[in-house]
Amino acid sequence: MSVSLRASSNVTYVNVPVKLYVDVDVGFEPTRWDVYYTYNVVAIETYKGGSLYRRSEYTLPMELGKRYYTWVFDWSVPDPDTYSVRAGWRLVYVVLPYGYPEYVWSKPITVSVQSPTAPPTAPPTAPPTAPAVPEWVKYLALGVAGALGVAVVASAVRKRRR
């Protein structure tokens, strides 16, 4: 029987989950009797500053003929700090008053949790404005529009006289 623990990352941010992979060798290939009358219990313990910070337990079924298991759990914490995390496994018999009462523990891993940093904010900018048009361009446009107007009126007058 052995338990090992690995994480998808050893560095994360507050409340951003890390995948914890718990690999277990139960030590035998379960029979039908084992599948019906036993189950796995996996515990994830989180330590902060040497003291137990949190403990989570999960009950998981046995599978026929399956000796090696890998379970994946999401792990996150709300406080920035460095944490030590370990996984434990034990087998429980439903019909008998015993099983493996003691957990088999993995070696602890360290996960560093950092404060979220705010993304840099750009200074507010004014909406884009059209570039300034020189005075002479304005008068040229006015003159072209006037000449076009005169040409349209003259053409209309010529068509009426015909």
Q: What is the pLDDT of residues 5-56, one digit of tens each?
A: 999 999 999 989 999 999 999 999 999 988 888 889 999 999 999 899 999 9
* Burial group, residue 3, by CB count within 10 angstroms (0-12, 13-18, 19+): buried
- Given its phi and psi angles, is residue 50 left (phi above 0), alpha (psi -120 to 50 degrees) or beta? left
User: Which residues neighbour 4 within 8 Å (Cβ) at sequence distance 6 or greater?
Assistant: 22, 23, 87, 106, 107
2-114 fold: Immunoglobulin-like (2.60.40)
pTM for the complete prediction? 0.68
pLDDT digits (tens, 9 = 90+) for 80-101: 999 999 999 998 887 766 666 7
Residue 49 Cα to chain centre, angstroms: 26
Domain boundaries, the chain: 2-114, 133-162
